[in-house]
């Protein structure tokens, strides 16, 4: 047995007849469950069983700030067949089953995250006590990896807290905090961390509890407690699930199948189905891609901006511009990075709006009892504002978020260099203007960099870090580290119009506009791409972002990258009719009436001189739009705009919601086969001209039968 296994579990018997079982995986910051621990746990359980002086067992973590973060998913990659993966699940089930059937009580003392297999381990205990600390969260997030809970979670959780609450947790992968866990009945008590062990030991001396089924009231009694009610419940759940997943993700369907089969009780059939479906899902292409994303982001968290170059500390942040982006940047700076942010705007209303952005989010959290009011006040105190550069002289980084005007941005660089310290970094949140132009007149161009966030800033996980030729390595490393502290996944991209994400988005959006001008209905185009797996269709996205914003980016891309980025003249016609989208409630969709933003504004068709219909299939529409995005992604890799396919995939998934189950543009091209991608591009090139001309890198790869990964 290797050292890792030898020292993962220790048993310490105490005078009062309680044994403390500690899990502490050596050399890792968090505990994860590994297949090879089976032998170790078995021998510990044998030891407990053989010792009649032990009256109860308290299970604790040897890690300072986490319980068990789940199962180690690297072991799934070793499975060659669904049967092998099913055996893994059965092994976990048997282990936890043995714990549950012990004659003495097991108590889980939970502090920090108890997720996935970690929560399943706790559910197999007779009692669960958790700390009321903000770090303590519980959940079954397997669905986010295209899986279902495979060690009894689909059986024990509904039996404990009811079908609907368990279903919600499993289908969304959402986490609950200590207070919610107590309210739902997941834990028996939530106490301060200082007395967690003491209370857990008291429970261990209580003997094994007799658990009653969850108390159901009103409609829930009918929905969960009767077979007719459960039929209604699952029919509704399936309908909503398909609407959400568009049938692209098998895991939620399987979760519902298992829950329906076991009807809210832990049954033999339920356990069998759980293991079988777990095995099938491990081998599914969707889960493989979702696990690839997980590994890629884990890898990226460990990387620095420039290898071997240490980031400088960032203690104070300035934000120029109090618009939506400025407000969002200030919020993630104070909430995630825990650093003070000072906002500058030319109008007092701008500063007030930016502060309101933070206030509104925090106030909602206070109302939902996610945070205390004192925590909100503490965070708001980190925000200050000014109409001048007073108070900016000691800022380590200034993030500029004013509108897209080159002259204005150059002026801002000048102002910062005059009013801040010599080491201050100027980071521009431009979405399309090359950083070299913004740094053109800078006295210290090595400290000018792009830091492009996506809207809404508090929700979108990506940030593009854009270095121009003169940006110093220290500036890159410092900016990457700063973005990580704000909770972002940063990718370093080369300078150039549109950078990476907007550059590959533009041809996709333009093709959707070409389809519209060719007579395809707006909602038909959108449905095609939502069905393909995007969160919203391109037409809806245009309304959300702003038709005027799209039209401003286009000339910048054409000037830098050529005619293939020329936007169709539909955009000009829309703007002449004062249609900017959602912001002025005039766009491609209607923003008045009962369903604002849901119904197409049919007057657009006569404005554009179109007879709209459904001429092409959803598949044809999606293929035309997506192929151009794939082709552009390949060009970006070839030109060194992105460092590798992995960054390109993560950037597209986190930046514009490319379907995660396809793994990103590069993994998707690999799964289609590069030759197939080239053949389809050439097919459309013959029909519509050179905007579909395949990138040289793709033609070469097809000839040499290569793939990106």
Distances 97 to 45, 90, 94 between C-alpha atoms, Å: 12, 10, 5
∠ CA 153-159-165, rounded to 5° = 80
For residues 603 and 615, the answer to whether their CB atoms sit within 8 Å is: no
- 126/62 same-domain check: yes
Segments in 246-284 forming alpha helices (H): 250-262, 268-282
Is the residue at 633 inside a domain?
Answer: yes
For residues 221 and 160, the answer to whether their CB atoms sit within 8 Å is: no
- 490/570 same-domain check: no
Is the per-residue pLDDT at 2 higher than 60? no
Active-site residue among 400, 464, 474, 520? 464
Name the DSSP letter for residue 693: P
Is the per-residue pLDDT at 640 higher than 50? yes
Closest CA relative to residue 106, chosen from 215, 200, 223, 227: 200
Residue 329 CA, chain-centre distance (Å), reads: 18
Place of tokens 């940063």: 490
Place of tokens 């509104």: 360
Is the residue at 658 inside a domain?
Answer: no
CA–CA distance, 71 with 84 (Å, rounded to integer): 16
Assigned token pair, 175: 């986490």
| Mean of pLDDT values over 416-429 | 96
Residue 409, judged by CB atoms within 10 A of its CB (0-12, 13-18, 19+), counts as buried
Question: The domain spanning residue 590 has which CATH number?
Answer: 1.10.1040.50
Cα Rg of the chain, angstroms:
28
CA–CA distance, 307 with 213 (Å, rounded to integer): 56
Task: With cut-offs at 50, 70 and 90, classify the pLDDT of residue 35.
Answer: confident
Is the per-residue pLDDT at 462 higher than 50? yes
- 50/142 same-domain check: yes
Task: With cut-offs at 50, 70 and 90, classify the pLDDT of residue 633.
Answer: very high
> Is 493 strand, coil or helix?
strand
pLDDT at 39: 87
Task: With cut-offs at 50, 70 and 90, classify the pLDDT of residue 6.
Answer: low
Is the residue at 75 inside a domain?
Answer: yes
CA–CA distance, 361 with 502 (Å, rounded to integer): 27
Angle between helix 618-638 and 665-672 (nearest 10)? 110
Percent over 70 (pLDDT), the chain? 99
- 203/100 same-domain check: yes
CA–CA distance, 703 with 692 (Å, rounded to integer): 18
Place of tokens 């491990």: 282
Is the per-residue pLDDT at 331 higher than 60? yes
- 365/487 same-domain check: yes
Q: Which long-range contacts (CB under 8 A, 24 or more apart) does 181-187 make?
A: 181/130, 181/138, 182/130, 185/160, 185/161, 185/214, 186/119, 186/128, 186/138, 186/157, 186/160, 186/161, 187/110, 187/128, 187/129, 187/130, 187/138
Is the residue at 57 inside a domain?
Answer: yes
- 256/379 same-domain check: no
pLDDT tens digits, one per residue of 510-568? 999 999 999 999 999 999 999 999 999 999 999 988 888 888 888 888 988 988 898 88
CA–CA distance, 37 with 71 (Å, rounded to integer): 11
- 177/65 same-domain check: yes
pLDDT tens digits, one per residue of 352-411? 999 999 999 999 999 988 888 999 999 999 999 999 999 999 999 999 999 888 999 999
CA–CA distance, 136 with 608 (Å, rounded to integer): 55
Count of domains observed in the chain: 3
For residues 358 and 330, the answer to whether their CB atoms sit within 8 Å is: yes
CA–CA distance, 192 with 206 (Å, rounded to integer): 20
Partner residues linked to 529 by β-bridges: none
- 368/444 same-domain check: yes
For residues 372 and 383, the answer to whether their CB atoms sit within 8 Å is: no
pLDDT, the chain, mean: 94
Closest CA relative to residue 604, chosen from 573, 566, 625, 582: 573
| Mean of pLDDT values over 666-680 | 98
Quick one: which H or E segment has residue 384?
strand 383-386
- 566/428 same-domain check: no
Percent over 90 (pLDDT), the chain? 82
pLDDT tens digits, one per residue of 99-141? 999 999 999 999 999 999 999 999 999 999 999 998 999 999 9
- 622/520 same-domain check: yes
Least confident of 5-14, 82-91, 98-107, 664-673: 5-14
Is the per-residue pLDDT at 648 higher than 50? yes
**Domain termination residue (choose one: 494, 513, 536):** 494
> Is 176 strand, coil or helix?
strand
Per DSSP bridges, beta strands 341-344 and 317-320 are parallel
For residues 369 and 179, the answer to whether their CB atoms sit within 8 Å is: yes
User: Is 464 a known active-site residue?
Assistant: yes
Is the residue at 309 inside a domain?
Answer: no
- 469/506 same-domain check: no
Is the per-residue pLDDT at 5 higher than 80? no
pLDDT at 4: 43
Range of the domain at 50: 3-282
Distances 108 to 131, 158, 159, 207, 582 between C-alpha atoms, Å: 11, 19, 18, 14, 50
Is the residue at 649 inside a domain?
Answer: no
pLDDT tens digits, one per residue of 162-175? 999 999 999 999 99
Question: The domain spanning residue 445 has which CATH number?
Answer: 3.40.50.720
Partner residues linked to 19 by β-bridges: 13, 57
Is the per-residue pLDDT at 480 higher than 80? yes
- 439/578 same-domain check: no
Per DSSP bridges, beta strands 137-139 and 127-131 are unpaired
pLDDT at 398: 97
**Domain termination residue (choose one: 282, 301, 329):** 282
Higher pLDDT residue, 43 or 529? 529
pLDDT at 34: 87
Residue 461 CA, chain-centre distance (Å), reads: 6
Is the per-residue pLDDT at 460 higher than 50? yes
**Domain termination residue (choose one: 255, 282, 309):** 282
Is the per-residue pLDDT at 689 higher than 80? yes
């Amino acid at each position: 047995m290797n050292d890792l296994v030898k020292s993962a579990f220790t048993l310490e018997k105490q005078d009062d007849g309680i044994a403390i079982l500690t899990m502490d995986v050596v050399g890792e910051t968090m505990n994860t469950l590994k297949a090879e621990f089976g032998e170790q746990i078995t021998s510990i359980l044998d030891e407990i069983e053989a010792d009649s002086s032990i009256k109860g067992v308290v299970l604790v973590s040897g890690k300072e700030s986490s319980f068990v973060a789940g199962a180690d998913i690297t072991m799934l990659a070793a499975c060659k067949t669904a049967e092998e993966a099913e055996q893994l699940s059965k092994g976990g089930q048997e282990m936890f089953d043995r714990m549950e059937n012990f004659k003495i009580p097991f108590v889980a003392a939970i502090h920090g995250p108890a997720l996935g297999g970690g929560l399943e381990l706790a559910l197999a205990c007779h009692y669960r006590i958790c700390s009321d600390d903000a770090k303590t969260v519980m959940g079954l997030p397997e669905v986010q990896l295209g899986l279902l809970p495979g060690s009894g979670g689909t059986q024990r959780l509904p039996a404990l807290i009811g079908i609907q609450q368990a279903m919600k947790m499993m289908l969304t992968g959402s986490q609950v905090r200590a207070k919610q866990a107590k309210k739902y009945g997941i834990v028996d008590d939530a106490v301060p961390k200082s007395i967690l062990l003491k209370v857990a030991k008291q429970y261990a001396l209580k003997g094994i509890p007799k658990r009653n089924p969850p108390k159901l009231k009103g409609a829930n009694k009918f929905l969960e407690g009767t077979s007719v009610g459960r039929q209604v419940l699952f029919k509704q759940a399936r309908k909503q699930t398909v609407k959400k997943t568009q049938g692209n993700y098998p895991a939620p369907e399987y979760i519902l199948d298992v829950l329906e089969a076991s009807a809210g009780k832990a049954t033999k059939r339920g356990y069998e189905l759980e293991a079988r479906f777990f095995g099938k899902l491990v081998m599914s292409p969707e889960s493989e891609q979702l696990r690839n994303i997980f590994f890629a982001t884990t890898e990226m968290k460990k990387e620095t901006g420039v290898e071997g170059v240490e980031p400088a500390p960032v203690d104070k942040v300035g934000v120029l511009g109090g618009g939506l982006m400025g407000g969002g940047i200030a919020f993630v700076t104070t909430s995630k990075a825990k650093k003070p942010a000072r906002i500058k705007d030319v109008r007092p209303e701008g500063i007030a709006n930016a502060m309101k952005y933070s206030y509104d989010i925090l106030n909602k959290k206070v109302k939902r009892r996610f945070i205390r009011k004192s925590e909100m006040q503490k965070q708001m105190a980190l925000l200050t504002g000014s109409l001048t550069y007073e108070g900016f002289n000691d800022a380590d980084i200034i993030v500029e978020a004013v509108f897209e005007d080159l002259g204005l941005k150059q002026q801002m660089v000048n102002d910062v260099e005059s009013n801040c310290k010599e080491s201050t970094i100027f980071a521009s949140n431009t979405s399309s203007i090359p950083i070299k132009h913004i740094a053109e007149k800078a006295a210290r161009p090595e400290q000018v960099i792009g830091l492009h966030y996506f809207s809404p800033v508090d929700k979108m996980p990506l940030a593009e870090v854009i270095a121009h030729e003169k940006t110093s390595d220290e500036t890159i490393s410092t900016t990457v580290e700063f973005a990580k502290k704000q909770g972002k996944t940063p990718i370093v991209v080369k300078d150039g119009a549109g950078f990476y994400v907007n550059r590959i988005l533009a041809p996709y959006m333009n093709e959707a506009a070409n389809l519209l001008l060719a007579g395809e209905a707006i909602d038909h185009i959108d449905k095609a791409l939502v069905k393909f797996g995007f969160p919203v269709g391109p037409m809806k996205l245009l309304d959300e972002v702003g038709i005027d914003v799209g039209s401003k980016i286009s000339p910048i891309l054409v000037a830098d990258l050529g005619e293939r980025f020329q936007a169709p003249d539909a955009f000009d016609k829309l703007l002449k009719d004062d249609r900017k989208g959602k912001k002025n409630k005039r766009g491609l969709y209607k923003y008045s009436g009962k369903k604002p933003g849901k119904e197409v504004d049919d007057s657009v068709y006569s404005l554009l001189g179109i007879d709209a219909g459904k001429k092409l299939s959803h598949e044809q529409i999606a293929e035309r739009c997506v192929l151009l995005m794939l082709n552009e992604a390949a060009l970006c890799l070839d030109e060194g705009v992105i460092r590798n396919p992995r960054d390109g995939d993560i950037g597209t998934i986190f930046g514009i919601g490319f379907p995660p189950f396809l793994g990103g543009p590069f993994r998707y091209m690999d799964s289609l086969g590069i030759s197939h991608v080239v053949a389809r591009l050439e097919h459309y090139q013959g029909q519509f001209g050179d905007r579909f001309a395949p990138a040289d890198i793709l033609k070469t790869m097809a000839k040499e039968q290569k793939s990106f990964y």
